Amino acid sequence: MTVTGDRTTDMAPADGVVPAPRRAQMRVRKRNGTSEPVDVNKIVRAVERWADDLADVDPLRVATKTISGLYDGATTAELDRLSIQTAAEMIGEEPQYSRLAARLLSGYIGREVRGQGVASFSQAIERGHAEGLIGDATAAFVSANASVLDDAIDSAGDLRFEYFGLRTVYDRYLLRHPSTRLVVETPQYWLLRVACGLAETAEEAVGFYRLMSSLAYLPSSPTLFNSGTRHTQMSSCYLVDSPRDELGSIYERYAQIARLSKFAGGIGVSWSRVRSRGALIRGTNGHSNGIVPWLRTLDASVAAVNQGGRRKGAACVYLETWHPDIEEFLELRDNTGEDARRTHNLNLANWIPDEFMRRVEADEMWSLFDPDEVPELPDLWGEAFDTAYRDAERAGRYVRQVKARDLYGRMMRTLAQTGNGWMTFKDAANRLCNQAAEPSNVVHLSNLCTEIIEVSSDAETAVCNLGSVNLAAHVADGGIDWERLRGTVRTAVTFLDRVIDINYYPSEQAAASNPRWRPVGLGVMGLQDVFFALRLPFDAPEARELSTRIAEEIYLTALETSAGLAERFGAHPAYEQTWAARGRLQHDLQGTPGTQAERWTALRARIAVSGLRNSLLIAIAPTATIASIAGCYECIEPQVSNLFKRETLSGEFLQINNALVAELKARGLWNEQVRSAIKQADGSVQGIAELPEQVRRVFRTAWELPQRALIDMAAARSPYIDQSQSLNLFLSAPTIEKLSSMYLYAWKSGLKTTYYLRSRPATRIQQATVPVVNSSAEALACSLENPESCEACQ
Amino acid sequence: MSMTDPKENLMLLDPGMSLTLRPMRYPLFFDRFRDAIKNTWTVEEVDLHSDLKDLSKLSPAERHLVGRLVAFFATGDTIVANNLVLNLYEHLNAPEARLYLSRQLFEEAVHVQFYLNLLDTYVPDEQERFAAFAAVENIPSIRRKADFCFRWIDSLGELRRLETREDRRAFLLNLICFAACIEGLFFYGAFAYVYFLRSRGLLNGLASGTNWVFRDESMHMAFAFDVVDVVRREEPGLFDEELAGQVREMLAEAVECEAQFAEDLLGHGVPGMSIADMRAYLQHVADRRLAQLGLPPMYGSKNPFAFMELQDVQELANFFERRVSAYQVGVTGSVSFDEDF
């Protein structure tokens, strides 16, 4: 047993230099087969080359820690990878290591690409084309413009990545050689390839590339995966109407969904038209088993389709609240009970008519109808629905009745226990949808992430392609750089619109819908970064005003751009069926006047003449992956923690709030004690007394914010969101009381949709890297169960 | 000290089968029982499919590591479950404590099922699979750990009632062995390998299941240390310097067992995880166990594995990629409209 008395215990301030005794003789094998002793100084020099502007990076520590993890006889490639990993593991104590790790990785990727004899963008495209990866059109375009495009590559572009972002790009986005699996493009080649896949001229391609390379805007993953390739499926979302209540239609839907899913689309599908358990099947004189067995099959089918190996297929099933199988539907994700009635891969959403919410509020009964008995309900909304529903109820055509509040409580329980069973509101969605101006055009469901609101039917599957503005990149001089924001939106809308024509549609129903309506979904990410930069608490009225102002600017500019496209190419074919054709834009439907009166007036005049190229323009998607590529916080969300890990297919990464670290550094508070305190408090800084109260308010986490403020902010921007928003809500310890109050408020605020309910585990894993508190020194907590044994009160 | 029941003056380790839940002597144990229920998970929720692709990407050295690791997992939880039934349940004389132990037993069973499922998935060849389950017999580095466990299970084997001070000390040593050495060190060592692999983006299925196992094990350990605290309160002289010395000796032996396991696992060279770093990590963990028992550290080693920090901070899973593991079961209440949120 060795007892070393001279060292401090536990996680003492990480002075870091791990002694590497007896390791001087360790050797590495070089690529040419020879071996040489590991040289600390060589690693130090390699790190220094990338750390010029990173003042708080210590190259010697990276080198010594790297060697400490090495084994004798490792290859130089292993050494390279280990140095990247080592730097990445130090991000939690100093965020600048994220940049360092990214640059080391960038160097590594560069060597991988050059090692295959690829020295320029055009060569990479040529090689990719020869290997069957790049599409003919893009190959020809690049070959015709080779020198201009090769010159456009920004060699400093990779310096803008954080490690998480670049790692994700390397692991999942860069094209790989079909047999060697080596990447055949660098990150900058990749972005230029995406641009070339959508551009008509070299100039246009370079402009779009520069915008993406600056990380001020990124299209959604399917576009980033597939633009310029042989399979140009670039849409994110498909909204599939419910199968008709018959076998053939149900199996057609499985096949359609599998095809849509194969090329990286996320699926929303309604199941409201399919008859419920116990309903008569006339053909066989038997009784239906209801929707659950069908959804089990869907579950298996979705899991079977793996999107080119890059991510698993994903689908969300929508069910209207009057369907008699609603309770079993709500249990599909439970992890207890009969597994034969569970679907572990499907997401679930409630498609809720206002009538239900009114009855919940008034504590009335709710009738459940079988769709083969009352088949008209899915196609009605608003007053028409209310009338049909009440008539059917009066006629006694319901299967059974339940207390509306009991069902509502059941919905809340599903949300609390699974996060699933999203609350989306059918009437608001239809009332405020530009496509639904005529009663025959009905929104039947939202999509996988509840931000898309488009009409669908048996013959038309709604499609949307998405992209998000990184608001963090538009902060300047203590505010938003509005001119830059407008420029970004103009480019973004132009290319989102372009996708519609170039896109490969995996199903005829999708191909039937998209060219008629030409919807796109421009969203945002990095709103939290903006608030941090401007030191605005998320729930401050100024934050809400700014967020609304940003939403108006983006919607207005997007409409202007779409009007411009309509002037050149004509309005979208179904334009006459929209509210816009009747002079009513989203904020008109919501009864809110815009603040930029002159621009709105000018815009209306243009629309009145030429119409709009796109029926829908704005949708705030979750941006999970592209936000991590851009290195900003997700969409419109508050931060979840000041210190958290992100799990992705690329492994786990520690992420830290850079703005907070800067603040702490400026105050001389960025030290091991404070860091450890933040970790112990699950990423909260509210217990750090040295931070002034107003600073702590800025750095609250989603768990520490009043959720009312998130709903209010979403409602305030909604006049400028013509589709919807993926609005997550956060309650660390949800109760039915809190949830039922919260979602009633969300409905009353007029939101079209909400998304996940996020909550936290009941207990947690014991922390392994924070100091131990000796529990025997703590008094037993006071407990009403047993007051006489409580020491604290005696 | 009023930790004992005012009427019966019953102490936690007094022999018997107390049935009295009211008044409750140890509400903390009951709370732990209820918390544990909220963490219910099932093996079916873990998707091991993506791991198969990763397995084919591993280097021979990494494959060796994974093979040994799952072989250890194949029997580890069963051993813990056995001790629970054979020793702990019998002697912890409070129904609320036995409620928790029943729950723990269920969790151990789920863990066993998880690792069974894991082996069936990872090791398609039947003969190899049998060999993995026989690891306790065939693989010396695992055998040595198992022997250590068996010795401590057997140490209480003959004791059906804790009558004397010595009996109760023997019980405490058994409890501390299972909490601090087996769940708190062997499993923590094993988790480190899993988290290491995950930090490299490998074997996410194993890691997500392990996350849930780890969450459960953290509770088990916390419960065991609660028991130690209660016993120390109820019989202040019991945990004396001699016992502390035995605990240190036991932990030191556990560190050696686990370190020789590490030499086997890492012997073929795994970049990012050296044998020396693993030993330092184990010493660091052992010091933490001592600290939890109110004892001074033996080693003073720092945690060399930055990736272990990852498991200390919140997960923000992207649902496209991974099932989120942060939900609760057993949420209660009724519909209301005027609650603050």
pLDDT, tens digit (0-9, with 9 covering 90-100), for A96-134: 999 999 999 999 999 999 999 999 999 999 999 999 999
The answer as to whether A242 is a domain residue is yes
Q: Say yes or no: A69 and A139 in one domain.
A: no
The answer as to whether B22 is a domain residue is no
Instruction: Please judge whether A761 and B328 are an interchain contact, meaning their C-beta atoms are less than 8 angstroms apart.
Output: yes
The answer as to whether B319 is a domain residue is no
Written as six digits, the tokens of A242 are: 């419910």
| Confidence at residue B313, expressed as pLDDT on a 0 to 100 scale | 61
Instruction: Please judge whether B292 and A774 are an interchain contact, meaning their C-beta atoms are less than 8 angstroms apart.
Output: yes
For testing contact with chain A, the best of B104, B187, B320 (most A CBs within 10 A): B320
For testing contact with chain A, the best of B200, B203, B303, B313 (most A CBs within 10 A): B313
The answer as to whether B25 is a domain residue is no
Asked if the C-beta of A684 comes within 8 angstroms of chain B's C-beta atoms, the answer is: no
pLDDT of B109 higher than 50? yes
Q: Say yes or no: A128 and A48 in one domain.
A: no
The answer as to whether A360 is a domain residue is yes
- How far apart CA A634 and CA A624 sit, in angstroms, is 6
Q: Confirm if A195 and A205 have CB atoms less than 8 A apart.
A: yes
Asked if the C-beta of B328 comes within 8 angstroms of chain A's C-beta atoms, the answer is: yes
For residue A239, the cross-strand partners are A268, A462
pTM comes to 0.83
A87-91: long-range contacts at Cβ-Cβ below 8 A with a sequence spacing of 24 or more?
A: A87/A47, A87/A62, A87/A163, A88/A163, A88/A167, A88/A653, A89/A654, A89/B199, A89/B306, A89/B307, A89/B309, A90/A61, A90/A62, A90/A65, A90/B306, A91/A163, A91/A653, A91/A654, A91/A655, A91/A656
Total domains in the fold of chain B: 1
Q: Which of B25, B211, B318 sits opposite A789 (nearest CB)?
A: B25
Q: Confirm if B277 and B304 have CB atoms less than 8 A apart.
A: yes
Helix, strand, or coil (residue A401): strand
The CA distances from residue A640 to A655, A661, A697, A705, A743, in Å, are 11, 16, 14, 10, 20
Which residues of chain A are under the pLDDT cut of 50? 1-23, 774-794
Asked if the C-beta of B302 comes within 8 angstroms of chain A's C-beta atoms, the answer is: yes
Total domains in the fold of chain A: 4
Contacts of B329 in chain A (CB under 8 A): 335-336, 417
- A residues 313..332 contacting B (CB < 8 A): 314
Domain limit, last residue, from A154, A179, A214: A214
Closest chain B residue to the Cα of A654, Cα to Cα: B310
Q: Say yes or no: A209 and A241 in one domain.
A: no
The answer as to whether A184 is a domain residue is yes
Contacts of A92 in chain B (CB under 8 A): 306, 309, 313
The answer as to whether A575 is a domain residue is no
The answer as to whether A155 is a domain residue is yes
Annotation says A93 is catalytic: no
Q: Which of B266, B314, B327 sits opposite A417 (nearest CB)?
A: B327
Instruction: Please judge whether B327 and A759 are an interchain contact, meaning their C-beta atoms are less than 8 angstroms apart.
Output: yes
Q: Which of B3, B321, B341 sits opposite A738 (nearest CB)?
A: B341
Q: What is the mean pLDDT of residues B208-219?
A: 88
The answer as to whether B27 is a domain residue is no
**CB–CB contacts below 8 A, A to B:** 307
Instruction: Please judge whether B276 and A738 are an interchain contact, meaning their C-beta atoms are less than 8 angstroms apart.
Output: no
In chain B, the DSSP E strands lie at: 314-317
Q: Say yes or no: A146 and A264 in one domain.
A: no
The answer as to whether A37 is a domain residue is yes
Instruction: Please judge whether A10 and B302 are an interchain contact, meaning their C-beta atoms are less than 8 angstroms apart.
Output: yes
Contacts of A8 in chain B (CB under 8 A): 300
**CB-count burial class (<10 Å; 0-12, 13-18, 19+) for A589:** middle
The answer as to whether A106 is a domain residue is no
CATH of the domain at A287: 3.20.70.20
| Confidence at residue A724, expressed as pLDDT on a 0 to 100 scale | 98
Q: Which of B50, B300, B324 sits opposite A4 (nearest CB)?
A: B300
pLDDT of B41 higher than 70? yes
| Confidence at residue B314, expressed as pLDDT on a 0 to 100 scale | 54
The answer as to whether B336 is a domain residue is no
- A residues 603..632 contacting B (CB < 8 A): 624-625
The answer as to whether A548 is a domain residue is no
Catalytic residue, candidates A226, A447, A514, A728: A447
Q: Say yes or no: A272 and A367 in one domain.
A: yes
Q: Say yes or no: A347 and A399 in one domain.
A: yes
The answer as to whether B71 is a domain residue is yes
Q: What is the mean pLDDT of residues B157-178?
A: 92
Domain limit, last residue, from A698, A724, A750: A698
CA distance A584 to chain B (A): 34
Q: Which of B314, B321, B341 sits opposite A648 (nearest CB)?
A: B321
Instruction: Please judge whether A69 and B277 are an interchain contact, meaning their C-beta atoms are less than 8 angstroms apart.
Output: yes
DSSP designation for B180: I
What is Dmax (Cα atoms) for chain A? 89
- Interface predicted TM-score (ipTM) of this complex, two decimals: 0.74
Q: How many CB atoms lie within 10 A of CB B122?
A: 22
Q: Say yes or no: A209 and A353 in one domain.
A: no
Asked if the C-beta of A653 comes within 8 angstroms of chain B's C-beta atoms, the answer is: yes
- How far apart CA A712 and CA A661 sit, in angstroms, is 29
Q: Say yes or no: A189 and A277 in one domain.
A: no
CA distance B277 to chain A (A): 7
Q: How many CB atoms lie within 10 A of CB B73?
A: 25
The answer as to whether B325 is a domain residue is no
CATH of the domain at B103: 1.10.620.20
Asked if the C-beta of B252 comes within 8 angstroms of chain A's C-beta atoms, the answer is: yes
The answer as to whether B328 is a domain residue is no
Written as six digits, the tokens of A762 are: 């009941």
For the stretch B217-256, pLDDT in tens is 989 999 999 999 999 999 999 999 999 999 999 999 999 9
Q: Say yes or no: A403 and A285 in one domain.
A: yes
- B residues 220..249 contacting A (CB < 8 A): 221-222, 225-226, 228-229, 232, 248
Q: Say yes or no: A241 and A276 in one domain.
A: yes
- Segments forming the whole domain that contains residue B189: 50-312
Asked if the C-beta of B40 comes within 8 angstroms of chain A's C-beta atoms, the answer is: yes
Instruction: Please judge whether A335 and B312 are an interchain contact, meaning their C-beta atoms are less than 8 angstroms apart.
Output: no
| Confidence at residue A264, expressed as pLDDT on a 0 to 100 scale | 64
Instruction: Please judge whether A314 and B319 are an interchain contact, meaning their C-beta atoms are less than 8 angstroms apart.
Output: yes
Helices (H), A465-612: 482-502, 508-517, 527-533, 541-569, 586-589, 597-610
Contacts of B199 in chain A (CB under 8 A): 85, 89, 651-652
Annotation says B195 is catalytic: no
Asked if the C-beta of A339 comes within 8 angstroms of chain B's C-beta atoms, the answer is: yes
Catalytic residue, candidates A94, A185, A451, A553: A451
| Confidence at residue A562, expressed as pLDDT on a 0 to 100 scale | 98
Q: Say yes or no: A147 and A274 in one domain.
A: no
- A residues 29..58 contacting B (CB < 8 A): none
- Segments forming the whole domain that contains residue A388: 237-436
| Confidence at residue B275, expressed as pLDDT on a 0 to 100 scale | 94
| Confidence at residue A771, expressed as pLDDT on a 0 to 100 scale | 64
CA distance B156 to chain A (A): 25
Q: Say yes or no: A306 and A404 in one domain.
A: yes
Written as six digits, the tokens of B176 are: 């501390």
Instruction: Please judge whether A786 and B313 are an interchain contact, meaning their C-beta atoms are less than 8 angstroms apart.
Output: no
Q: Which of B40, B309, B334 sits opposite A335 (nearest CB)?
A: B40
Q: Which of A69, A342, A679 sits opposite B273 (nearest CB)?
A: A69
